[in-house]
A and B are shown apart, each in its own frame.
Chain A
């Protein structure tokens, strides 16, 4: 009796989560795959025709937006990592007993609505606004210089908005490094640079890698930043999906694009995890889960 119960316990424990996943992840995903192969329109209805051309049409027509999304996602992820590491390092090792204060300060802006934060950039960066206006009037910037409606603005916005996804895992990884390891390195005549490169950096790498995954996927699929801060050639695939689905009712094309994006992101993450090796991947997941 006891043994039987023990055997079923794990299954009972995953039942709520499993049902939830089945209802809200597996079923919608299957619907999306099915929809991406249908033909039709809102007025006449959609029929399953296994129309693979939806994929070729969508990827051919919107190839620029698709590739741009991955590229902007990559740039934003790199910028996030470059900005986050020093900040997380400083908080973890130098902030002493004020650690949590600085961490809260870093995360404070993210308590404001995401959309509002992005729109407020628009007010700051407008051509004749408080930042660019004076700089141009004093001849520091050329007359036709602008930031708003450029790819630079979009990548900067993405970097800003997804920073916490990078800072937190790196901080967690750094914070749990035993300081005695660094001391031991110094005792063995390692310079500060050597101690960092041979002890701290390798131990914190899982945090960086977790941050990369958690930043890259949502940043590539984002559409708010391109909408608010981007110009005519900065549209990302998220904007296309939104317009095709909501404005045009072209459900198959929107689904095909969504599924293609998901496939590329998943493949990317798998390849990435493979490259790290099984152990690397496991410690990435440990850090991501906050262990």
Chain B
């Protein structure tokens, strides 16, 4: 629902011990001395681990040599990214004999990075062999810090044969050195037609005082910042810090005029279906698979964001060969089709469309209607013209990232 870490909260439910008696046994000078020792102890700082994004053949060979499959695999993914009955996983287990432990533990890229960063920096296992991360600030950090296993392309034959052209060699991971796409999606606007009587077509409507207290925005600073820039007619990928400032001013005004009801993570789906918010920033597949017929999804005329969630293997994985087997297996169109039929995001395997269309022809009644809608949906199989309207997150250098975060982060944090 929301990104609360139970380990941080647990302590609060226990009664606290009382504060110690305020007897000043330690003199001020002594206290300062102690503090000084602490500072010296701690003064060495934390060493940087960056600059590991470039990999050569020898790195790949070194990582994979001597490794073989262990017949098991632990996969960390986002909610709603697999059939409820895990049909695709079962099919994989049957085909390969590899047992899969599947957990929906990723709610937002930032907190997920926060969770895995410490063990990965220490070279420890994170308890998963495969994870799904969105292109953006945190994935870039994982690449730079050497947290990801370099992929052995010689074991990704189905990917080589079946991946769509836009999914190879993406700008955020040249040569697919560390990542292979799982699904793509669009950030646009969802609105509940029970409450919103006008047709929603543009981002400007998210800023309309008419919907005061009924607008939801995504709290992630890349999502939020991109929408602020779309409003100004700026392409986020070509934006400058001056554009960021202008966009932030608009977003701040929207918040301070009481138009924004809340900054959401995953929980906007619930809020817009129940009517707590009437219109909200949203992710295409979430809304497509909503059972409520009242909620509609649109790609705004100013533009929408096209992002890609990527399969990647943490360097400390215990079963990386099995993870790689799964990645490649998902690129067989017949294996990928049932997944796409359920999750309704954009598959990186274009041949899936024919399979969905063929399934639709075979099916009857409601299922046929559903599959036909899917195979013809521009949200799931966007045309080149649709794709041309979509933009990507801006890639940020370390210095730019600090600046970007300082401009956009406080907005969703109420300051």
Contact = CB atoms under 8 A, between A and B. Distances in A.
A235 B409 CA distance: 12
Given A45-B49, A127-B275, A246 B110 contact: yes
Interface residues of A, number: 75
A248 B402 CA distance: 9
A147 B45 CA distance: 45
Given A44-B48, A48-B44, A247 B406 contact: no
A248 B110 contact: yes
Interface stretch (A77-85, A89-97, A221-229): A221-229
Contact of B141 (A128, A148, A249, A282): A249
B415 to A, nearest CB: 4
B366 interface: no
Name the residue in B22, B41, B117 with the highest tally of chain A Cβ atoms < 10 Å from its Cβ: B22
Contacts, number: 188
A161 B4 CA distance: 16
Question: From DSSP, what is the main secondary structure of chain A's interface residues?
Answer: helix
B42 A245 contact: no
A61 B46 contact: no
B398 A65 contact: no
A250 B413 CA distance: 15
A33 B38 contact: yes
Contact of B46 (A46, A115, A282): A46
Contacts of A27: 38, 41
A105 interface: no
B135 to A, nearest CB: 16
Nearest to A162: B12
Interface in B4-47: 4-6, 8-10, 12-13, 15-16, 18-19, 21-22, 34-35, 37-39, 41-47
Nearest to B113: A247
Contacts of A282: 21
B45 A46 contact: yes
Interface residues of B, number: 65
A144 B210 CA distance: 12
A113 B13 contact: yes
A248 B405 contact: yes
10 contacts: A26-B34, A27-B41, A30-B38, A31-B41, A42-B48, A48-B44, A114-B9, A114-B12, A249-B114, A281-B22
Interface of A: 26-27, 29-31, 33-35, 38, 40-48, 61-65, 68, 110, 113-115, 119, 126-129, 144, 146, 148-149, 161, 164-165, 168, 210, 213-214, 218, 222, 224, 227-228, 230-235, 239-240, 242-251, 269-270, 273, 281-282, 285, 288-289
Interface of B: 1-6, 8-10, 12-13, 15-16, 18-19, 21-22, 34-35, 37-39, 41-51, 108, 110-111, 113-115, 117, 141, 144-145, 212-213, 255-256, 260-263, 274-276, 398, 401-402, 405-406, 409-410, 412-415
The 9 closest A-B pairs by CB, nearest first: A30-B38, A246-B114, A45-B48, A247-B110, A235-B414, A34-B42, A288-B18, A43-B50, A44-B48
